[in-house]
Amino acid sequence: MKKWMKAITFLMISMFLLAACNTEEPETKAVNASGDGYEETTIRLAYNLPADHHIAKGLEKFVKDVTDKSNGAVKMQVYPAGQLLNDKDMNQSILTGGVEMGVNSSTLWASTVPAMGIFDVPYVFSDYEKAGEALNGEFGDKLRTAMEDKGAKVLMFADYGYAQFANNKRPLESPEDFEGLKIRSIGDIPSEMIKAYGASPVFMGGGEVYMALKLKTVDGATSGTTAMVQRKYDEVAKYLTINNYAYLEFLLSINKDFWDKLPEKTQALLTETAKETEDWIRAQAQSEDEKTAKQLEEKGMEVYVVPEEDLPKWKEAAKPAWDAFTKNSGDLGKELLDMVDEQ
């Protein structure tokens, strides 16, 4: 009997000690040691821009800021310069969740959301400030909604800057000067404009343009002056025309399903940091456009800046491109054009 009493007493003491132990605070995860409260998350980010491009620099700033603000809880695995995905495969990978986050041009997103082609419509945005105002308002919200309907949330509109024309044949001082030229195009809408000006559009990747100009496969090309400097257009093209016909955008997008599963605190962090980075990139776009245009001139290109009073003539000649966009993008495209015209 005494043995049974001892056993029961021992068991009761053990249960008491166990209960006492369980009242201690659970061990805090290292991620919450600073009290920031972010859950551990890993996000893969892919883009296909050269490291010295101002958008690439902005993206690296975004990654650093997200990491620092979350004390490393939100981990960003970055794949720059096409290491993981090229431009052609980027959108599908974002939409299917093959990669959580990626950057691609609005031109390439237009195949998924036709209204995104608005940035390729000639002479829609007359200056950097108006572009920023539109993107920060209802105009930008409508494009964000259209993207979310397809499965991608836009975190940032990253301003690439204005598109211009380089060529080897002659100064392009009016739309009529394009007659008979072969011009590398960057998308369907710019191709309509090139055709309306009397030239033939040729599709090719940005990395192919240098040799195409050198071998005279094309007479000219359209691109931003930042890319022209990086790809050494000055070595293979003589003339540069500054007409600011298209305000090119790149989108930082995240898979919508992945986004919806993120904690609200992490969503707020990404949204806030993306907005800060977007403003930084927008400021860089204008200075980079001005700086690189000057560099091309210093390197020997003959630069012609279309006078502001001549731009209506260039815009009127490009109307077939506007018609093509409206036909392809439907009611939303027309609504966006009307909103821009009201600015």
Instruction: Look up tokens 């909103």; give the residue.
Output: 339
Compute the distance between CA of residue 280 and CA of residue 278 in angstroms, rounded to an integer: 5
* 14 within a domain of the structure (yes/no): no
Give residue 68's domain range: 40-341
Backbone angles phi, psi at 106, to 5 degrees: -60, -30
Compute the distance between CA of residue 242 and CA of residue 62 in angstroms, rounded to an integer: 31
Rg of the chain over all Cα atoms, to the nearest angstrom:
27
Task: List the CATH number of the domain containing 78.
Answer: 3.40.190.170
* 34 within a domain of the structure (yes/no): no
* 94 within a domain of the structure (yes/no): yes
Which tokens sit at 336? 């966006």
Q: Provide the number of structural domains found in the chain.
A: 1
Handedness of CA 40, 44, 49, 55 (dihedral sign): negative
* 30 within a domain of the structure (yes/no): no
Compute the distance between CA of residue 12 and CA of residue 19 in angstroms, rounded to an integer: 11
* 113 within a domain of the structure (yes/no): yes
* 180 within a domain of the structure (yes/no): yes
Please name the residues in contact with 14: beta carbons below 8 A apart, sequence gap of 6 or more: none
* 8 within a domain of the structure (yes/no): no
- Full pLDDT tens readout for the chain, 343 residues: 444 444 444 444 444 433 443 333 323 243 444 437 899 999 999 999 888 889 999 999 999 999 999 999 999 999 998 899 988 899 999 999 999 999 999 999 999 999 999 999 999 998 888 898 999 999 999 999 999 999 999 999 999 999 999 999 999 999 999 999 999 998 899 999 999 999 999 988 788 899 999 999 999 999 999 989 989 999 999 999 999 999 999 999 999 999 999 999 999 999 999 999 999 999 999 999 999 999 999 999 999 999 999 999 999 999 999 999 999 999 999 999 999 876 6
Compute the distance between CA of residue 45 and CA of residue 66 in angstroms, rounded to an integer: 12
* 10 within a domain of the structure (yes/no): no
DSSP 161-180: EEEEEEESSS---SGGGGTT
214 SS3 class: helix
Backbone angles phi, psi at 19, to 5 degrees: -65, -40
Contact 261, 194 (CB under 8 A): no
